[in-house]
């Protein structure tokens, strides 16, 4: 409750000087709030721009040092790995996800061998980069099978954890997968591997550039509305988070970010668990293209990122994370 009244109380007094505004800021951003997504590709000595995502590239494994060195120098705590899988390696079951020499597994080993624990590694647990149909699981008659998909996701999770992944992030939205994965990890004495559940993942129109980046956009048949959430729903988000936390999720994700600020705040207030926001590819590309066309200024990036923090997000996955020194007013 505000006490006092004008003219004795003048709220503009504290806004007059920069030092005062900084001193009294209710929320702040630092490098520790960010996770940097990295797209992987086969080959050597390759850095390939992604046309639909300005200033974002795919990296061959031997070129990862360029972006990892920058992330570590800027004190980013964790990177998230996403593979661009060749069509010749895809099948209906996403079998390449279980290959110990796939792109993600080789990248994990490279990072751990070179950087040890200087930076955390988050790995996506889902089959869409590996399936010919672009869906996150086993597709039968146009429907993704839940329980059969979970069996593959368990094995994918165990493989990534055994390779050295620190945080497994199931993004598939299958019912019950968090509990099954947690149980399998504990059984294999991988109790310290963390689970970041994409608990609230909406069937969104903002994922297009990401699907370009991992090569699943052309392959995708139909949509993902039978397993990703309906963007009209709020209560369903609460139920999803409640289930995943009960099953053993250490952290939960809300994806996309900006259109779902209300959900981030709701989940944080209700569950008091670590909540992550994903500023997804469509959000990133819209802002970047608007800046490049001088429709808005680059200061809009900071304003946008601060909205996640203000809503209660503990961390933000953002493609801007490797350029924070150009964005944040240190």
pLDDT per residue over 161-211, tens digit each?
A: 999 999 999 999 999 999 999 999 999 999 999 999 999 999 999 999 999
The question of whether 73 is a catalytic residue gets the answer no
Q: Can you tell me which residue has the tokens 């990122």?
A: 305
Give me the chain's average pLDDT, please. 96
The question of whether 255 is a catalytic residue gets the answer yes
Residue in 63, 224, 255, 309 annotated catalytic: 255
User: Does residue 329 surpass a pLDDT of 90?
Assistant: no
- Segment 261-272, tens digit of pLDDT: 999 999 999 999
Which pLDDT score is estimated for 4? 84
DSSP state, residue 179: H
- Segment 40-64, tens digit of pLDDT: 999 999 999 999 999 999 999 999 9
What share of the chain has pLDDT > 70, as a percent? 99
> Distance between CA 215 and CA 279 in Å, rounded?
19
Beta-carbon contacts of residue 288 (< 8 Å; ≥ 6 apart):
53, 54, 55
Closest CA to 279 of 322, 303, 308: 308
Cα 226 to Cα 139, 164, 211, distances in angstroms: 11, 32, 18
pLDDT band at residue 330 under the 50/70/90 scheme: low
Residue in 201, 224, 268, 309 annotated catalytic: 201
Question: 58 forms bridges with which residues in the sheet?
Answer: 39, 48
Question: Homologous superfamily of 29-327 in CATH?
Answer: Aldolase class I (3.20.20.70)
> Distance between CA 60 and CA 46 in Å, rounded?
5
Beta-carbon contacts of residue 136 (< 8 Å; ≥ 6 apart):
126, 127, 128, 144, 149, 171, 172, 173, 174, 224, 227
């Amino acid at each position: 409750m505000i006490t006092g009244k004008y003219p004795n109380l003048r709220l503009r007094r504290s806004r007059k000087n920069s030092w005062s505004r900084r001193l009294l800021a209710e929320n702040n951003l630092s490098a520790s709030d960010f996770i940097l997504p990295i797209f992987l590709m086969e080959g050597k000595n390759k850095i390939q721009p992604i046309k639909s995502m300005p200033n974002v590239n795919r990296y061959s494994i031997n070129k990862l040092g360029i972006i990892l060195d920058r992330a570590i120098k800027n004190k980013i705590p964790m990177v998230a790995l996403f593979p661009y899988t060749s069509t010749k390696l895809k099948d209906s079951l996403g079998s390449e996800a279980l290959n110990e020499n796939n792109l993600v597994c080789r990248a994990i080993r490279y990072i751990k061998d070179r950087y040890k624990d200087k930076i955390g590694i988050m790995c996506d647990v889902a089959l869409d980069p590996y399936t010919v149909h672009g869906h996150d699981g086993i597709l039968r008659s146009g429907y993704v099978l839940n329980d059969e998909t979970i069996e593959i996701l368990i094995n994918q999770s165990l493989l990534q954890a055994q390779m050295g992944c620190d945080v497994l992030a199931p993004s598939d939205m299958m019912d019950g997968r968090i509990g099954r994965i947690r149980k399998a990890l504990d059984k294999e004495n991988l109790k310290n591997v963390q689970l970041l559940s994409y608990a609230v993942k909406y069937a969104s129109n903002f994922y297009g550039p990401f699907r370009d980046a991992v090569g699943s956009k052309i392959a995708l048949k139909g949509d993902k509305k039978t397993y990703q959430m309906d963007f009209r729903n709020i209560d369903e988000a609460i139920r999803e988070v409640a289930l995943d936390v009960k099953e053993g999720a250490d952290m939960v994700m809300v994806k996309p970010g900006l259109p779902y600020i209300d959900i981030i705040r709701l989940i944080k207030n209700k569950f008091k668990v670590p909540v992550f926001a994903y500023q997804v590819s469509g959000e990133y590309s819209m802002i970047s293209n608007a800046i490049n066309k001088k429709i808005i200024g680059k200061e809009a990036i900071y304003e946008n990122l601060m909205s996640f923090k203000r809503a209660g997000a503990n961390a933000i996955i953002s493609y801007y994370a490797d350029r924070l020194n150009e964005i944040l007013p240190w």
